[in-house]
Amino acid sequence: MLEESVRQAETAAGAKAQPEDIAAMIEQATEALSNAGIKVAESSSTPARPEGDEGSSLANTETDTEAALVGKVRVMFADAALAMRRAGATRTEEGEFFLTDGTLTHGKIFRLGSVAAFGVSDKASGALAPAGGSKLRLWPEPAPETATALVSGTSPETLRLFLFETTDKSIEPKKERGLLEEATLGGMIAWVIVALGCVSVVMILFRFVTLLAASASGRSLTRKVLDAVVARRFREAEAIAAEARGAAARVLRAALRNLGAERTHLEDLLHEAILNETPAIERFGSAITVFAAVAPLLGLLGTVTGMIATFDVITEFGTGDPRMLSGGISEALITTKFGLVVAIPCLLIGNLLAGWGDATIADIEHAALRVVNAAHGLDLEIDENADAGHATEPRSPTTVEPELA
């Protein structure tokens, strides 16, 4: 495209054409060169005329104008050809560039055509990025090995560079936004989602500690109590349960205190004791699930609200600046991101804790029934290390007479 424009302009400059055609060709070529990022030198449009030359003919004036335009075309494209050759070559030169802290330093600059550059100085080295006004500055991402190797004339193992189109416009490194900045951009709904996330973390920690306490030493406690009950040492079994902590210990104490009751009544008492422990074990389980469902809905609400505000701005000011449109959409999507960040862990951890809670309740119920069966001589004494379904023969039923204090 650029080479074709150059050839057309040179042909027009060499052929005999009207000044208007040559001027139009100059304008077209200048635009093509500008789009390619090449600046050309300006030349004088009319040659100097000696004093007292007012009597020159009109033909001579037109000839001078044509010659000036043709000369301008030739000078312009000579500079353009030189710029194109330099744009496709690599070279090392002395120059100045800015460091990341804004300090101007002097060193060697290795240019990779007109699309990349590297700087090496006593203070710092690395890839260079446009700083505006044809200036360069050190890019924050480190690449000192690449810059040093290129300046010294060797090939680096990995070529880490920063590509750019022109050095006229400054390119700022992308700044990472923190949680507070993003929440502020997301508005009130984003802060509501952050509050939900904080409350969810507290509830998850509380539920974890509760389940940990409820299931602590459950199996070892059940084994100790069973051994004492099978040996008919009911006081010892009750003392073991009294010393232990947790939901399983409380249910076992209730079972041991009422071993003398009828079997049906005893099972009702155990069921009541387990029901008393269930609310504490399942506490905050439903709330965590609800928060996991509400958080993405709030995020969607914030996104819809932000998109409406963005389109209102577009309606008022138009779409002349694409950054305004993309920035508004980006800020609108912050609430959706916040909602998903809260919902996904809540849903995952909430289900894991719910399964843990159900397993804890089942273990407590199983432990209580084993103690009752052992007290009545019906304990199967299942070997936990053996395969499922293998057990010893049950003992014959006996009448339990609890020891008197």
129-167 residue pLDDT tens: 888 877 888 887 767 777 777 777 777 777 777 777 777
The answer to whether residues 244 and 362 belong to one domain is yes
Q: Is residue 137 part of a domain?
A: yes
pLDDT exceeds cutoff 60 at 402: no
- Identify the weakest region by mean pLDDT among 105-119, 243-257, 369-383, 385-399: 385-399
Q: What is the pLDDT averaged over residues 64-69?
A: 64
Q: How many domains does the chain have?
A: 3
Q: So what's the pLDDT on residue 193?
A: 94
12-50 CB burial, b ≥16 within 10 A, e <16:
bbeeebeeeebbebbeebbebbeebbbebeeeeeeeeee
pLDDT exceeds cutoff 90 at 340: yes
In this predicted model, which residue has the larger pLDDT, 65 or 257? 257
Q: What is the pLDDT averaged over residues 77-106?
A: 76
The answer to whether residues 280 and 218 belong to one domain is yes
Rounded CA gap, 310 and 315, in Å? 9
The answer to whether residues 116 and 81 belong to one domain is no
Q: Closest Cα to residue 191, out of 201, 179, 202?
A: 179
Torsion sign over Cα 390, 392, 396, 399: negative
Q: Is residue 324 part of a domain?
A: yes
The answer to whether residues 63 and 95 belong to one domain is no
Out of 87, 116, 138, a domain closes at 87
Using pLDDT thresholds of 50, 70 and 90, give the confidence band for residue 201.
very high
The answer to whether residues 64 and 34 belong to one domain is yes
Question: Which amino acid is it at 125?
Answer: S
Q: Is residue 54 part of a domain?
A: yes
Q: Are strands 104-112 and 90-98 parallel, antiparallel or unpaired?
A: antiparallel
pLDDT exceeds cutoff 70 at 393: no
**Is 110 exposed, middle or buried (CB count within 10 Å of its CB: 0-12, 13-18, 19+)?**
buried
CA distances from 287 to 120, 138, 346, 347 (A): 59, 51, 10, 11
Q: So what's the pLDDT on residue 352?
A: 94
Q: Per-residue pLDDT tens for 25-42?
A: 667 766 665 655 555 555
- What is the maximal distance between C-alpha atoms in the chain? 144
Sequence-distant (≥ 6) Cβ neighbours of residue 229 within 8 angstroms: 237, 256, 371, 374, 375, 379
**Which one of 31-40, 176-185, 277-286 scores highest in mean pLDDT?**
277-286
pTM: 0.60
Torsion sign over Cα 83, 87, 88, 91: positive
The answer to whether residues 357 and 375 belong to one domain is yes
Q: Is residue 165 part of a domain?
A: no
Out of 87, 115, 132, a domain closes at 87
The answer to whether residues 287 and 236 belong to one domain is yes
The answer to whether residues 396 and 344 belong to one domain is yes
Tokens for 283, please give them: 């506490």
The answer to whether residues 126 and 39 belong to one domain is no
The answer to whether residues 44 and 96 belong to one domain is no
The answer to whether residues 118 and 257 belong to one domain is no
pLDDT exceeds cutoff 80 at 399: no
Q: So what's the pLDDT on residue 385?
A: 43
Sequence-distant (≥ 6) Cβ neighbours of residue 235 within 8 angstroms: 403, 405
- Identify the weakest region by mean pLDDT among 136-145, 344-353, 366-375: 136-145
Provide the residue range defining the domain that includes 109.
90-151
Q: Is residue 162 part of a domain?
A: no
Backbone phi, psi, residue 63, to 5°: -65, -40
